[in-house]
Each structure stands twice: as C-alpha cells, then as structure tokens.
Amino acid sequence: MYSSQINDMKVICIGRNYIEHAKELNNPVPKTPMFFMKPDTSIVFNNNPVYYPEHTKNMHYEVEIVLKINKKGKFISEKFASNYYDEIGIGIDFTARDIQDQCKKKGHPWEIAKAFDQSAPVSKFIKKTDLPPPNNISFSLSINGKRKQVGNTQDMIFSFNEIIAYTSKIVTLKPGDLIFTGTPEGVGPVSIDDHFEAYIGNEMMMDFYVK
Ligand code: MG
C-alpha cells in the first residue's frame, strides 16, 4: 500500500499563477488555471543533490509552495477542497527554459522542458495548521546565500482551493500527489555547484546542491 502510493504519485504544476511572473516571461495572465504534470521520477526528496541535465543549456529555478494531497478525489468542489490536503511544503519547478521557448514557438508539449528526471526537488512537509492561513504564506529562495525569489500566496491568481477544484475535474487526485502552486517573479538560471535554500516564513525547509 505504502510503496504503491509512492510509485503512483504524480506532480501537478500550476503555470503563471503570479501576475508578476507571467509578465516577466511575457506570458498572458490566465483566465483559468493552467497546469502540466511531472512524473514520479522528477521528485527528489531529502535534500539530495540534483544533477544538471544534459539536454539543456539554460535550466531555470522556480520556487513554489507545494500541497500534498491526502485523499482521493474527483470533481472536488471548492467548498470542500481544503479537506484534500493537510500538509504543505516547498519545491523547485526546474525548467529547461531554452527548450520551453522552442516548445512554445512550435506549439509542442512541454514535457521535455518540465518533466525530466529530478526536475522537482521537494522539502519536508509541515501541517497546514502550523502555518499561517493558506492565503498568507510567505516563502523565499536563496542561492549561494543570496535572496533570489520572495513570494506570498496572497499574490496567487488562483487559490489552493480553486486549483484543487479545477485540476480534479480533469485528473483524479490521489494521496501523495503533489501540487506545485506556481512561482513568483525572479526566476533565473542555475549553475553547477549552486547551493539552494528554500524557506517558508523564516523556517529553512530545504537545502541542496546542483551538481
Ligand atoms: Mg512553475
């Protein structure tokens, strides 16, 4: 039961959920949530290092608040959506920006730019009851000791509940699934040997290297 949950888990990522980030990549602000998925092999736990993939010359970091789904649901209504997660963490949606730009131009799918192995390191999780309300969670990313991204979930275009309601119309959510809820502005390129530290509030949640 436990191992099948881990093997079956999927990662759902919301794109363009912060206006300033949509603007920095010259993307329109969406009217409905926009999502894509990553496979279980994208996930890296326990501060293990991430190896810079060979197929990109411009991998970017995107720090995001991550929800861990705790029960199975389809067509979840917004009203009950908060019952479908009780833990929150933080993760990096690593993106091969050069490849993504080519995909966008050609109208191709994004998997090659987004869903590669190790593209989704995630932190430990904490109970949502130990955090500020879902619409007021501050978070940040430092690389090599320098603050690179700072966000607060109050700036999300679509709330956690709206995201859960929308995505569960399309795909069944299952226990252990992770939802990356979008990145604020300040994304940028990754270099080998970069040291990542991601925070929720003042708590350091994740600390790893890119090799
Ligand atoms: Mg992202």
Residue showing tokens 């326990």: 46
Q: What is the pLDDT of residue 29?
A: 85
Amino acid at 119: S
Distance 14 CA to ligand 1 centre (A): 6
Distance CA 52, CA 161 (A): 34
Q: How many structural domains comprise the chain?
A: 1
Distance 127 CA to ligand 1 centre (A): 23
Distance CA 29, CA 178 (A): 23
Q: What is the pLDDT of residue 22?
A: 81
Distance 1 CA to ligand 1 centre (A): 30
Distance 36 CA to ligand 1 centre (A): 9
Q: What is the pLDDT of residue 1?
A: 42
Strand 178-180 and strand 11-15: the pairing is: parallel
In a domain, 5, yes or no: no
Q: Which domain holds residue 109?
A: 11-209
Distance 107 CA to ligand 1 centre (A): 18
State which residues of the chain have pLDDT below 50. 1-5
CATH assignment of the domain containing 154? 3.90.850.10
Distance CA 119, CA 95 (A): 7
In a domain, 2, yes or no: no
| Number of Cβ atoms within 10 Å of the Cβ of 83 | 13
Residue showing tokens 């279980």: 40
Lookup: tokens for 30: 């969406």
